Structure 1
Amino acid sequence: MTAPFGVVTVTYSSGDYLHNFLRTLADASTHTVPVVIADNGSDDGAPEKAAAEHDNVTLVDSGGNIGYGAAMNRGVAELDPDIEFIVIANPDVEWSPGSLDELLAAAARWPRAGSLGPLVTEVDGSVYPSARAVPDLVSGTGHAILGTVWKSNPWTRAYRDGGVEPGSTTERPVGWLSGSCLLVRRSAFESINGFDSRYFMFMEDVDLGDRLGRAGWLNVYVPSARVLHAKSHSVSKHPEKMIPAHHASAYRFTADRNPGPLRAPLRFALRAGLAVRSKIAVSAALREQRRAAKS
């Protein structure tokens, strides 16, 4: 009998994160689910080891570091076409017992849900704001440029909260959900052609949630399901690559939704502001790396 869902993750030298991902996955559902690892050029041997040790794991070589969204689409294509739901998750997720079955049960309660996301906690126990509002031109620009230097600014607060207080126990539709862990209805995912592969990394989940909403689907926050996300290990290892990619994605998302000559000055200002912020953020991250290496 075909499992009701399959799991897809994208790896890029994810090491022990992938081991913990698969170890905790065993208790996340009563089903033994197929897992596809779409690998973007790892050099640590972790994906190969996982495929050798787990009969339910299929390893797909993407052919290089093609980006998160493109690799995720490649992994989804490997799943049995009869599988109705797809779990999209980062390899640095650890699953709480029953978390995937809880998301599946919520999908039955919300037949128009294109995506459903759990409550996400971080390593220190804090709740990550994984359910957010879709940024408009003003809030998106304000958050993109000021989010790291003035964290309490009103645009960042509106963007991060999305009407859902961190730790809220209310199950409800939101603008978009963190792509660190999502259950997506395959028919919904395929109706919008999956992830936009132009996003190398970052913002692809915002774009996905927004396009699902525009297509008439719901993005539903399900706090009764919980996962832990040891986020940003790739960012911390390669800030000179990942931070500019984040800023490029932020620009693409906002520019795509604000086309035309009348808004060209705003797009120009956003690009310039993001370029400056990116350089500052990379310099700070590299300084922190050097400081940590000396200590």
Structure 2
Amino acid sequence: MVARVDSTLAVVTVTYSPGEHLENFLTSLSGATERPTRVIMADNGSTDGTPEAAAVAHPNVELLRTGGNIGYGGAVNRAVAEIDSSVEFVVVANPDVRWEPGSLDALIEAAGRWPRAGSLGPLIHEPDGSIYPSARTVPTLVSGAGHALLGTVWPANPWTQRYRQENEEISERPVGWLSGSCLLLRRSAFDAVGGFDSRYFMYMEDVDLGDRLGRSGWLNVFVPSAHVTHAKGHAAGRHPELMLPAHHESAYRFQADRHPHRWQAPLRWALRGGLFVRSKLAVAAAVRERSKTSAEPGAAPGNDTKQGKR
């Protein structure tokens, strides 16, 4: 028996000077579902004026100022708190997502097929049409370390392959976690696990949410019949000295939370030390690359369209 699916739909997007991407997001959203939508922009301190303009141009769009840059998960939680608890589904998506026609309806239909799905995610395309590996396994200490150390220099290593699931058949199925760049969340599941962990300022908050949903008996379901395109922001490339340490700090928090015992303290110390060294090396390499790129003719800065996403 297929579970009843409510037609009410709320959409949350976190804005941080999203530029032209935001209008593409809102325009394409109108074709993604036949259901009326309420869109809440949780703004973390935009300075480009686009969220204000969107709130004026679109009657179903609301601007919610978070009061500062409180991070991705914290901003989502703040916006969800504004939505009546009777609303069955909440969509969380980055403002640089472009929706394919019918994509949201496909996710909601899948929710009816999977009544224990706490989150559902679409097939995500890169701007060049390639598929982004958005449905992954939850990283263990071993697989996470293998991917972190070897993912860049040896992409085909077994830990990265297992983590990213790129060789898996593209099919509708439960997975460990789904990219937070575009999620359909069952409100009852989201509330049951306390929403996003706001301690993650950026990065890994979607991994943490998917893992906590799974540990609580909910499913994270990959729905490849729904398609979106993710333009991706460039904050990490423009500010590696801020973004990369935040990424490594989130990676440490994720594993430290899952290895909390006193006898595991040496493991946590080793993990923190290793990630600190890796972060310093990654920042130095990124700064060199940024300097080289900015020196090239025609180089131009991008928009910080999203926070907390890879």
Q: TM-score, normalised by structure 2?
A: 0.90
The one of 16, 21, 30 aligned to 1:17: 21
Q: Report the Cα offset of residue 243 of structure 1.
A: 1.1
Match of 1:147 in 2: 151
CA distance in 2: counterparts of 1:174 and 1:35, whole angstroms: 27
Preserved contact between residue 36 and residue 79 of structure 1 (Cα < 8 Å): no
Q: Deviations over 1:5-45 (max 9, x none)?
A: 11001011111111111111111011230000000011111
1:88 aligns to 2:92 (yes or no): yes
Deviation, 1:169, is: 3.5
2:280 aligns with 279
Q: What is the aligned counterpart of 1:50 among 49, 54, 75?
A: 54
Counterpart position of 2:254? 253
Deviation at 1:140, TM superposition (A): 1.7
- For residues 235 and 251 of structure 1, the distance between their equivalents in structure 2, rounded to whole angstroms, comes to 18
Deviation at 1:3, TM superposition (A): 4.8
5+ residue gaps, structure 1: none
| Structure-2 separation of matches of 1:149 and 1:65 | 33
Residue 197 of structure 1, CA deviation? 0.3
> What RMSD in Å do the two structures reach over aligned CA positions?
1.5
| Distance in 2 of aligned mates of 1:196 and 1:241 | 20
Alignment-derived partner of residue 64 in structure 1: 68
Contact between 1:169 and 1:224, CA under 8 Å: does it hold in 2? Answer: no
User: Shift in Å at residue 137 of structure 1?
Assistant: 1.7
Pairing partner for 2:31 from 27, 30, 36 = 27
Residues in 1 aligned to 2:95 and 2:113: alpha-carbon distance in whole angstroms: 28
Contact 1:119–1:223 (CA under 8 A) maintained in structure 2? yes
Q: CA-to-partner distance for each residue in 1:169-188, whole Å, 9 max, x for gaps?
A: 31111111110100000000
- Aligned letter for 1:223? P
CA contact (8 A) 1:201 1:246 kept: yes
For residues 137 and 293 of structure 1, the distance between their equivalents in structure 2, rounded to whole angstroms, comes to: 36
Counterparts of 2:270 and 2:157 in 1: how far apart (Å)?
19
| Cα distance in 2 for residues equivalent to 1:148 and 1:5 | 39
- 2:188 counterpart of 1:196: no
Provide the residue aligned with 2:104 in structure 1: 100
Whole-Å separation in 1 of the counterparts to 2:170 and 2:140? 26
Amino acid corresponding to residue 209 of structure 2 in structure 1: L
Gaps of 5+ in 2: 1-5, 297-310
- Superposed, 1:257-268 pairs within 5 Å as 257-268=258-269
Alpha-carbon distance, 1:254 to partner: 0.7
Q: Which has the higher contact order (CA 8 A, sep 6+)?
A: 2
Q: Which moved more, 1:268-277 or 1:250-259?
A: 268-277
Deviations 1:138-192 (A, max 9, x none): 112222333333322221211111xx636x4311111111101000000000001
Normalised to the residue count of structure 1, the TM-score between the two structures is 0.95
Write the letter of the residue equivalent to 1:165. Answer: N
Q: CA deviation at 1:242?
A: 1.1
Q: Structure 1: how far apart are the matches of 2:138 and 2:258? A: 11
1:256-289 per-residue CA deviation (whole Å, 9 max, x = no partner) reads 1012233222222221121122112212222222
| TM-superposition CA deviations, 1:95-141 (whole Å, max 9, x none) | 00000000000000000000000001101111111111111121122
Moved over 3 A (4+): none
Q: Which segment is superposed worse, 74-83 or 45-54?
A: 74-83
Which residue does the alignment assign to 1:231? Answer: 232
Which residue type is aligned with residue 8 of structure 1? V
Q: What's the counterpart of residue 306 of structure 2? A: none
Are 1:182 and 2:183 matched, yes or no?
Answer: yes
Contact 1:10 1:72 in 2 (8 A): yes
Aligned equivalent of 2:167, options 155, 165, 168: 165
Task: Give the deviation of 1:193 after TM superposition.
Answer: 0.8
Q: Which residue of 1 aligns with 2:299?
A: none
- Identity over aligned pairs, percent: 65
1:112 aligned onto 2:116 = yes
Counterpart amino acid of residue 43 in structure 2: D
The verdict on how the C-alpha distance between 1:232 and 1:158 changes in structure 2, with shifts beyond 3 A counting, is farther
Moved more, 232-241 or 29-38: 232-241
SS in 1 for 2:162: helix
